Structure 1
Amino acid sequence: MDQLSSDSGFYDDLPLISRFGDLTHASSYTSLPDGWVIGTADIVGSTRHIAEGRYKMVNMVGAAVISSQINAGGGHSFPFVFGGDGASFAVPPEFAETSRDVLGVMRRWADEEFALELRAAQFPIAEIREAGHEVGVARYQASTGVDYAMFGGGGLSWAEARMKLGVNAAPLAEPGALPDLTGLSCRWNNAPARNGMILSVVIQPRPDVAPQDFSNVTSRIVSVVETLSRGGHPLPPGGPGVRWPPPGLALEAHASRAGRSLLRRKAELLVGNLIAWFFFKTGLKAGEFDPAHYADMVTNNADFRKFDDGLKMTLDCDATTAQRLRQILEEAEGKGILRFGLFEQAEAMTTCFVPSVIRDDHIHLVDGASGGYARAAEQIKSAIS
């Protein structure tokens, strides 16, 4: 991994990588500068919440971790990764205190708004390196509108494991504290599988495995996935579609009411979404807003595959390819290279962060609609225990 200077423009200066397969190589990643801090958060008991049918809520709170940090950052870019039931990110030293405070606010808000226990912690990069790990970052250009951060080096996984032990927990904010979640929404329909199944894939290297051995396997996996129609993209061209009222209206009302009446916020969203539904259905433009172009960009900008020390993907997959992936992974697992989980479901879902509907930099975080990454990761936990 290369090393850049420690200024806060580190992430902006990273080169954009347009070929996903290049991200399997360690040479694509640059080490975080000295002084930077890793933040990480996840929902306690997500498996139980999924079993109770609350996974869309779990996803929304996981995405809220990211949107709260983006809004608190005042528009400055920083690397982050969405994990389904949580998220991780890295911030420069001058934003570390604010970021920690926001994590504490998120913990309070998740509890008071949804009765969810959110774990959250912060780890200086120096502490991670002292433990023998590294955090490398790359920028993957998903489309002309957005790029997403990819992580390697093992440090992110170490931080997440320490967080789950209660280390460096972000202090809980005062009762009633509210995060700024402007732009967070979940208005799109779920996207049904078109090729048989939506396959959630979670692959993690075993401790102390040679990086090249893991890279070789993930390269094979990515090559197989590229043989799928549209590379396994789970959202259809032209976006996943809309209906009225939208399926995530109640969750969005909770996320955006900012202490106001929940009933009133639902009414406001019903009216606003009815207007949006009209334009999407008719295709009519409203000033600079072009609904057809926006819907195309939803699919183009979708974050459906990522590296966060391991590999996560949400794929529209056929049974033959799924079996081929399983065979490769079982062989590599038998050689002590990795652990993996595969979870099949019927639909994919999307949670969004939209700073502006007339720009192309809106973010769309994709996961399986019936448990996705959390259910696939649970298979790994079960195998370990």
Structure 2
Amino acid sequence: MMVTEKASIYYYSNLPVHQLAPEDLLSEVSNFSVVPEDWVLIVMDIEKSTQAVRYKMHRDINRIATESIMATLNEMKLLNPDIAIPFFYGGDGASLLIPGAYLQQIRLMLDDFRYHIYTNYFLNLRVGFLAIKDIYERGHAIKLARLSHHRHFSIPVALGDGLKAGERLIKDRLVNERKEPSQRMYVDTEGVSCSWQSIKFQKTSNRTLCFIVSLRDLSQQASTLAGINQKIASIFGNYPERTIFPIKYLERKNKISAIYLQQMKFPNPLNWEYLVVKVLGKYYFRWFQRGRDFAEKLSTSILPTLYDGDYADILIGTKEQIATFIGHLQMLENKGILFFGSFISHQAIIKCSMNIDENKTIYLLDGGEGGFTSAAKVIKPKMRKD
């Protein structure tokens, strides 16, 4: 079926938002729709990010990756507020899909953003673009679905190897020269807030598991990912309850107050609400409706999950639960079905948030002591040996 150019730009906006558990979404391939050929994959990657992390610039790296997404979303709102675009956050970079009709404007904005990053952080943000048509002509595929993450927002779920293949092709030719900015210079990254709140668990209780899964047999991609999520449900509980971040951990040492004040950015420290939050701390989020609403939204808007062809997630559970799940992944790896990397710690870190619009704020979660970065160090050598 032919897709007109006008219909194509609203491709992602018009996808149904599935109110399903991930295992149910993935169990039915008809829930997924082919990305139009006239869309474009954008990949942003911070040059020498590993070295920058060694120099304790990990917070700058995470903020830049978050701002690169926010800048693109804000620019798209200016160009056409009715267009939704899927994005995939990677910690030291990001990938997005946009309609090709807006490529030139987005490219110019990102040139300015790259200049801003270099002048403020002395880091090179490399940016590359690849038409989806070119990915398809190389024999790869990309299908997307929108999965409801509670009622606050939806996340993209990708099937096929097209995103990963496109990222590899782009990274081979990423732009790293520093261009002079356009006359505009200003890039809108409004909506990003970074609080870096570390939530520690007692060593005798829960812990976090960061894991990354990369499938070897893509012909069974959907069913394998569905099976992994079914296993998660059997161990950690059903969706969406298992994705709710326990508010009791956010109340410890008034972490929730710090996140709230960081996000609200009260201009005047004598503001009545600012003073009430500072005095009451966690009790503000129990006694006041505005506080209760924020606590509920925060606990259901923390987003570690990434489905970009691979699968990355964070689970919070007991030592026994995590050991059972890792044993399941190990069994699948031994059968040659997938590669996986995992890392366990006794803390979780809410790094940055993105205020997508008035009612949608996404909080980005990682594990302690490196989290996903540490898990990636486990899986990458396995994949190189293959």
- Which TM-score bucket, shorter chain as reference? 0.7 to 0.9
Match of 1:378 in 2: 377
Alpha-carbon deviation of 1:228?
A: 1.7
Indicate conservation of the 8 Å contact 1:351/1:365, yes or no. Answer: yes
Indicate conservation of the 8 Å contact 1:4/1:30, yes or no. Answer: no
Alpha-carbon deviation of 1:245?
A: 9.9
Indicate conservation of the 8 Å contact 1:50/1:371, yes or no. Answer: no
Alpha-carbon deviation of 1:81?
A: 1.6
Match of 2:164 among 153, 157, 170: 157
- Give the AA of the match of 2:188: D
Q: TM-score, normalised by structure 1?
A: 0.81
Indicate conservation of the 8 Å contact 1:17/1:141, yes or no. Answer: yes
Cα–Cα, structure 1 residues 295 and 273, in superposed 2: closer, same or farther, change >3 Å?
Answer: farther
Match of 1:34 among 34, 37, 40: 37
| Superposition RMSD in Å | 3.4
After superposition, residues 98-117 of structure 1 pair within 5 angstroms as 98-117=105-124
Greater Cα offset, 65-74 or 155-164: 155-164
How far apart, in 1, do the equivalents of 2:309 and 2:243 lie? Answer: 22
Indicate conservation of the 8 Å contact 2:348/2:365, yes or no. Answer: no
Match of 1:47 among 45, 50, 58: 50
Match of 2:67 in 1: 64
Cα–Cα, structure 1 residues 306 and 3, in superposed 2: closer, same or farther, change >3 Å?
Answer: farther
Indicate conservation of the 8 Å contact 1:234/1:304, yes or no. Answer: no
How far apart, in 1, do the equivalents of 2:159 and 2:218 lie? Answer: 13
How far apart, in 1, do the equivalents of 2:360 and 2:243 lie? Answer: 19
How far apart, in 2, do the equivalents of 1:200 and 1:373 lie? Answer: 6
Match of 1:265 in 2: none
Indicate conservation of the 8 Å contact 2:39/2:132, yes or no. Answer: yes
How far apart, in 1, do the equivalents of 2:231 and 2:2 lie? Answer: 32
Alpha-carbon deviation of 1:71?
A: 0.6
Indicate conservation of the 8 Å contact 1:41/1:118, yes or no. Answer: yes
Match of 1:199 in 2: 209
Cα–Cα, structure 1 residues 4 and 20, in superposed 2: closer, same or farther, change >3 Å?
Answer: farther
Alpha-carbon deviation of 1:202?
A: 0.9
How far apart, in 2, do the equivalents of 1:87 and 1:119 lie? Answer: 11
- Give the AA of the match of 1:348: I
How far apart, in 2, do the equivalents of 1:199 and 1:181 lie? Answer: 31
Match of 1:186 in 2: 194
How far apart, in 1, do the equivalents of 2:64 and 2:89 lie? Answer: 11
- Give the AA of the match of 2:58: Y
User: Gapped runs of 5+ residues in structure 1?
Assistant: 254-267
**Any idea what SS the aligned residue of 2:351 has?**
strand
For this pair of structures, how many residues does the alignment match? 360
Cα–Cα, structure 1 residues 93 and 244, in superposed 2: closer, same or farther, change >3 Å?
Answer: closer
Cα–Cα, structure 1 residues 238 and 22, in superposed 2: closer, same or farther, change >3 Å?
Answer: same
How far apart, in 2, do the equivalents of 1:35 and 1:148 lie? Answer: 22
**Any idea what SS the aligned residue of 2:250 has?**
coil
Indicate conservation of the 8 Å contact 2:354/2:363, yes or no. Answer: yes
Match of 1:264 in 2: none
- Give the AA of the match of 2:321: T
After superposition, residues 1-385 of structure 1 pair within 5 angstroms as 6-18=7-19, 19-25=21-27, 26-74=29-77, 75=81, 76-167=83-174, 169=175, 172-174=178-180, 177-187=185-195, 189-193=197-201, 195-206=205-216, 209-212=217-220, 214-226=221-233, 227-228=235-236, 232-233=242-243, 235-237=245-247, 240=250, 246=258, 271=267, 277-280=274-277, 282=280, 290-345=290-345, 346-354=347-355, 359-385=358-384
Q: Deviations 1:55-95 (Å, cap 9, x if unpaired)?
A: 33222111111101111011331111212222111111221
Indicate conservation of the 8 Å contact 2:159/2:309, yes or no. Answer: yes
Alpha-carbon deviation of 1:181?
A: 0.5
- Give the AA of the match of 2:180: E
How far apart, in 2, do the equivalents of 1:49 and 1:64 lie? Answer: 17
Alpha-carbon deviation of 1:355?
A: 5.1
Q: TM-score, normalised by structure 2?
A: 0.81
Aligned residues with identical type, % of pairs: 22
- Give the AA of the match of 2:352: T
**Any idea what SS the aligned residue of 1:13 has?**
coil
User: Gapped runs of 5+ residues in structure 2?
Assistant: none
Greater Cα offset, 81-90 or 220-229: 220-229
Greater Cα offset, 291-300 or 29-38: 291-300
**Any idea what SS the aligned residue of 2:9 has?**
coil
Indicate conservation of the 8 Å contact 1:47/1:374, yes or no. Answer: no
Greater Cα offset, 270-279 or 83-92: 270-279
**Any idea what SS the aligned residue of 2:157 has?**
strand
